[in-house]
Amino acid sequence: MQSTEELSETTSQAAASALCPSCGRFVGPYATCPYCGAHIAGRLSLRMVKIVTVLLATVGLFALWWLARHTEIPLLTVVETQGTMNMAYVRVHGKVSRSLTYDPEGGYLAFWLDDGTGEVRIASYRDVTQALIAEGRVPALGDEVEVAGTLRIREDYVSLTLNVPEHLILTRPEPIAAPAGSLTMLDEGLRVRVAGEVQSIFSPYEGLTLITVRDDSGEIVIAADETLIALTGPLPEIIEGQGIVVTGTVTLYRDTPQLAPATVRDIVLSAAPPEELAVVEPCALSELSADDEGGWVNARGRIVALEGFKGGLKATLDDGTAQVLLVLWQSLYTELPEPTALDVGAEVEVEGEIKVYQGDLELVPGSPEDVRIVTAAPELPWVEVQALSTSDTGRIVRLRGVSGDPVAFSAGVKVPLDDGTGTITVLLWSNVAEALAQPPQAGMMLEVVGEVAFYQDEMELIPRSPGDWRPEP
């Protein structure tokens, strides 16, 4: 411990160093006395201190910049993220698992990435989105993507904002050639190339175009939505019967495989089919089994039963060796040249895809051209209402009369029909009523075909399809 004398001596020396040795006045930190101009030895120039300080700060900033450029951004999995990582700058790697969301006006682009442990929502905005579009680096379903950005921990999901276009690395798998009819639910996420003929073009609503492509093995639907068009350009002009080669990722719609192209350039057309489709010879229904699911077959037989369901008709086709259900979707049935000719007793030749639903074999034609009516169904005889009784339940009959006021209910419309001998309620289920070219109204002269039924002791006539409701001029 220093003594009082030593402290006093040290203080005196410090005070003396602050005085000019020439004039004795206080000069503080100056290296030259401002009064007499004498040079004070042992002093570091204030200017030199400033220069050294600036140099050190510059070197420090450069070192920080170099470290930031050369330090690897940490790679995380979704399951590793936690609340304390909010706003951290991290990398994620995975496969695009859902369709893209794009707002052309705001420049907002988003997609979901699955890394095997969970999903993270990737988003970009304005300039970054435009740069990705201009460089052709917009991800699509099934693409492998590595992206770095700002992590956001939400209550119910994790998101990451892409701030720099260069921090998105896209890898698109090479497609494999595959027959259209060979694709199943197990191929979901696989990138394939399918060649065939355009069977039909359908737009169920504005913003979605469905292109059915068929080859010798079967058919598959190509889905092109408004996001694909907005990001990669308009679809080429497509006509039925054209040859087409489509590259895309297998997705599922209600467990049915379809293809989603990454860009409209993945749809290549030719003036004619790439090669003539093989002629499908008729086969016996007894030869078909669940093992043929997804195959394209030709069958011929007689319609022995017909019933409606929500979305269309199911006809039982019998060729003498076995029976199979013929599924006619409403859109296809209404485009047949003579829909009413396809009824019980009609002989038909049908090409279609074999499907299995709840253990039953189904034959599903792809277009009206796949259904050929060899012999039209015989015309049902006229029946009077007064001649019907409970013993006729399940019978298909044909009536003629004048309609009364329709009454709507939750599942459809009920219309009284008076044929002069009595009145029967015509029950139009909603799927039939909504497909009628001329909606029911009072005073219509009608011919109606349907199945006789009884509900709470009231007799009803239930048309199976819009073709069973036949207004007279």
pLDDT tens track for 323-362: 899 988 877 887 888 888 888 888 999 988 888 888 888 8
Give domain status of residue 217, yes or no: yes
Cα–Cα distance for residue pair 95/119, rounded to 1 Å: 9
Cα–Cα distance for residue pair 25/30, rounded to 1 Å: 12
Give the global pTM.
0.53
Cα–Cα distance for residue pair 367/336, rounded to 1 Å: 9
Give domain status of residue 39, yes or no: no
Whether 190 and 260 share a structural domain: yes
Whether 338 and 352 share a structural domain: yes
pLDDT digits (tens, 9 = 90+) for 222-266: 999 999 999 999 998 888 888 899 999 999 987 889 999 999 999
Give domain status of residue 204, yes or no: yes
Whether 163 and 213 share a structural domain: no
**Residue at a domain's end among 314, 345, 375:** 375
Tokens of 314: 């199911």
Long-range contacts of residues 185-189, Cβ cutoff 8 Å, at least 24 apart: 185/252, 185/255, 185/257, 187/250, 187/257, 188/250, 188/251, 188/252, 188/257, 189/95, 189/141, 189/142, 189/249, 189/250
Contact assessment for residue 254 and residue 290, using Cβ atoms and an 8 Å cutoff: no
Q: Mean pLDDT over residues 384-409, rounded?
A: 90
Tokens of 381: 């005889």
Cα–Cα distance for residue pair 249/294, rounded to 1 Å: 18
**Residue at a domain's end among 171, 200, 234:** 171
Whether 87 and 163 share a structural domain: yes
Cα–Cα distance for residue pair 332/339, rounded to 1 Å: 10
Cα–Cα distance for residue pair 342/298, rounded to 1 Å: 17
Give domain status of residue 278, yes or no: no
Residue 274 has pLDDT above 60, yes or no: no
Whether 199 and 218 share a structural domain: yes
Give domain status of residue 207, yes or no: yes
Whether 305 and 343 share a structural domain: yes
H/E stretch holding 248 reads strand 243-253
Task: Indicate which CATH number applies to the domain containing 454.
Answer: 2.40.50.140
Whether 236 and 296 share a structural domain: no
Banded model confidence at residue 30, pLDDT cuts 50, 70, 90? confident
Mean pLDDT computed over every residue of the chain: 85
Contact assessment for residue 140 and residue 172, using Cβ atoms and an 8 Å cutoff: yes
- Total number of domains in the chain: 4
Range of the domain at 305: 285-375
Cα–Cα distance for residue pair 260/172, rounded to 1 Å: 14
How do 407-409 and 108-114 pair as beta strands?
unpaired
Tokens of 292: 């043929």
Q: What is the CA radius of gyration of the chain?
A: 40
Give domain status of residue 430, yes or no: yes
**Residue at a domain's end among 111, 141, 171:** 171
Residue 26 has pLDDT above 80, yes or no: no
Whether 355 and 421 share a structural domain: no
Banded model confidence at residue 52, pLDDT cuts 50, 70, 90? confident
Give domain status of residue 134, yes or no: yes
